[in-house]
């Protein structure tokens, strides 16, 4: 049964993970009712609704370890938020990806290397987001493009050359944003216009002349805006009006001023 997220919490039916009615009288934690650390329709470890499970462990964190092997994945996933490190380690290989993702959010960064080969991409994305930067090289060949995008954003710039020829355009764009100048020329000649443009915008002006003839007008425009003046002549005749005007205005800025006054 799908829970209606539009319903207020106290109007969502209180049933267990198998759809059965919950009986507080038979619960092992009946004493918690009097303490106010659990309550029907609000805070209950047996409820199917994850927010109620979370509220229960929030007020009874010491009980999280009791439910580490519970058959309902939501209980294990929420319990992972409250477990100590020793217990948390036991859930690294949990059969459910939601539980493992919860573990990846809490495991100390230096221990996340244990999860770099997780079969679920969402788990590996969380690992890549939190892992120590010095360990990210272990995930350079991850099969999922977005995991590699995250790595390209975080890994030391000196290691980015490993991803400079990545098969995915998004990854190469991230590489072009941060890689050292010595690699930028290669990325400025990338087959994808979007990658070339990112690289071109970071290239020193002295290296721009060859890009006057690029097939993409945005690359030629960037070139026209920064290339040394002696290379601008060809760009004044560019097929794109904006590129041509930009080049002409740089060669003869007085003409641009006159045009403005003329208007």
67-78, pLDDT tens digit by residue? 999 999 999 999
Q: Write down the pLDDT at residue 255.
A: 61
pLDDT in tens, 186-224: 999 999 999 999 999 999 999 999 999 999 999 999 999
197 to each of 162, 194, 227, 240, 241, how far by Cα in Å? 20, 5, 15, 16, 19
Per the model's pLDDT, the better-predicted residue between 14 and 50 turns out to be 50
Q: Give this prediction's pTM.
A: 0.85
Q: What percent of the chain has pLDDT over 90?
A: 86
Q: Write down the pLDDT at residue 9.
A: 54
* Domains parsed from the chain with CATH numbers: 1-101 (1.25.10.10), 206-252 (no CATH)
Q: Write down the pLDDT at residue 144.
A: 98
Q: Write down the pLDDT at residue 13.
A: 83
pLDDT in tens, 39-52: 989 999 999 999 99
């Amino acid at each position: 049964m799908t829970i209606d997220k539009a319903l207020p919490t106290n109007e969502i039916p209180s049933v267990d993970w198998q759809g059965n009615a919950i009986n507080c009288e038979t619960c092992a934690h009946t004493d918690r009712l009097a303490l106010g650390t659990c309550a029907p329709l609000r805070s209950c470890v047996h409820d199917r609704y994850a927010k109620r499970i979370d509220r229960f462990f929030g007020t009874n964190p010491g009980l999280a370890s009791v439910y580490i092997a519970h058959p309902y994945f939501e209980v294990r996933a929420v319990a992972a938020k409250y477990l100590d490190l020793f217990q948390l380690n036991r859930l690294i290989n949990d059969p459910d990806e939601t539980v493992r993702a919860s573990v990846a959010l809490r495991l100390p960064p230096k221990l996340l290397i244990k999860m770099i080969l997780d079969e679920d991409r969402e788990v590996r994305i969380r690992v890549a987001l939190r892992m120590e930067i010095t360990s990210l090289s272990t995930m350079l060949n991850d099969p999922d493009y977005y995991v590699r995008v995250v790595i390209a954003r975080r890994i030391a710039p000196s290691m980015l050359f490993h991803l400079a020829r990545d098969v995915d355009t998004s990854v190469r764009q991230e590489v072009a944003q941060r890689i050292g100048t010595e690699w930028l020329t290669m990325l400025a000649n990338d087959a994808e216009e979007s990658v070339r443009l990112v690289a071109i915008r970071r290239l020193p002006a002295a290296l721009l002349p060859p890009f006057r003839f690029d097939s993409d007008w945005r690359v030629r425009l960037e070139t026209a805006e920064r290339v040394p003046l002696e290379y601008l002549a060809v760009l004044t005749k560019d097929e794109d009006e904006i590129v041509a005007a930009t080049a002409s205005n740089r060669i003869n800025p007085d003409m641009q001023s006159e045009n403005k006054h003329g208007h």
